A and B are shown apart, each in its own frame.
Chain A
Amino acid sequence: MAESIFGIHERALQVRTMRGEVLASNLANADTPNYKARDVDFRQALRAESDKFAKDSLPMAHTSGRHMTGDALLNTQDFLKYRMPTQPSLDGNTVEAHIEKAQYMENAMQHQATLEFIDSKIQGIRGALKGE
């Protein structure tokens, strides 16, 4: 029910939150030797989710007629990639604070936009219910 109201934005919110977490952990580990910065391939993650959404579900593979049917769940982890550093550092750390900060800012803005979309959906439904 909730999915049909908010559409892709509900999924987008989850991916944004996850990406925020990954970027925050990159920034927290900016001084950890050998830490490798990671990021979520948002486009790929969302495309997979929207494909799933369009088809309504991604059926689980079954090899026998007696297997129960179910939906396979894609995980955001499946879209985690390592970042290529532009200037490698001596201690093997690949976090570049300016890039991570810019990405975090961008992600926060997109997160806000997603919240805005969901909010206007709610306003629309509320308006329809009130009959205004």
Chain B
Amino acid sequence: MSLFKVLDISGTGMHAQTVRLNTIASNMANVDSVSSNKDETYRSKQPVFQTILEGNMNEPAMGVRVKEIVESQAPLKMEYNPNHPMANEEGYIFRPNVDINEEMANMLSASRSYETNIEVMNTSKQLLLRTIQLGK
């Protein structure tokens, strides 16, 4: 019964969105992690999604997975703050390149997509139940 496949596909969608939510949470949590040099500063992490092809291009329905998590190349925020305990010799501290507004928008998008996948699953579940009850 291939309606079960819909559940698998939506499951992969939900998983991918959970990973996205996780990276967003990590970015938000680290928004104030300051450090004294460029290399140690936290950089915003963004997941890249990819369709699961599984070597079969003829298969019409495909799930999704997280291909990789890339670090944002946006410039870090350099701040002159000689009194800060983490300040380097020149008196600078580095703040992560996390954009709170962008993360909030991403979070909303991720939760909406997650909901959509749940709705698809619910509908399939109802159809499956009705199929099981055929002829009763």
Q: Which residues of A contact B (CB under 8 A)?
A: 17-18, 20-25, 27-33, 35, 38, 40, 76-77, 80, 97, 101, 104-105, 108, 111-112, 115, 118-119, 122-123, 126
- Distance A119 CA – B125 CA, assembled complex (angstroms): 18
Instruction: State which of B60, B64, B126 has its C-beta within 8 Å of the C-beta of A28.
Output: B64
**Given A24-B10, A24-B61, A25-B63, are A31 and B134 neighbors across the interface (CB < 8 Å)?**
no
Q: Determine chain A's interface SS by DSSP, over half rule.
A: helix
Considering the complex, give the chain B residue whose CB is closest to the CB of A105: B123
B64–A118 CB distance below 8 A = no
Of the listed stretches B24-32, B45-53, B72-80, chain A binds B45-53
B64–A29 CB distance below 8 A = yes
Q: Which residues of B contact A (CB under 8 A)?
A: 2-3, 5-6, 9-10, 12-13, 16-17, 20, 48-51, 58, 60-64, 109-110, 112-113, 116-117, 119-120, 123-124, 126-127, 130-131, 134-135
- Distance A54 CA – B101 CA, assembled complex (angstroms): 60
**Given A18-B2, A21-B6, are A33 and B116 neighbors across the interface (CB < 8 Å)?**
no
Considering the complex, give the chain A residue whose CB is closest to the CB of B62: A25
Tell me how far the C-beta of A10 lies from the nearest C-beta in chain B, rounded to whole angstroms: 12
- Chain A contacts for B50, CB-based, 8 A: 32
- Distance A21 CA – B128 CA, assembled complex (angstroms): 13
Give the most central of A18, A22, A30, A115: most B CB within 10 Å: A30
A28–B63 CB distance below 8 A = yes
A27–B51 CB distance below 8 A = no
- Chain B contacts for A111, CB-based, 8 A: 127
A80–B49 CB distance below 8 A = no
- Distance A32 CA – B12 CA, assembled complex (angstroms): 12
B51–A32 CB distance below 8 A = yes
A126–B135 CB distance below 8 A = yes
- Chain A contacts for B17, CB-based, 8 A: 31
Considering the complex, give the chain B residue whose CB is closest to the CB of A76: B60
Tell me how far the C-beta of B41 lies from the nearest C-beta in chain A, rounded to whole angstroms: 27
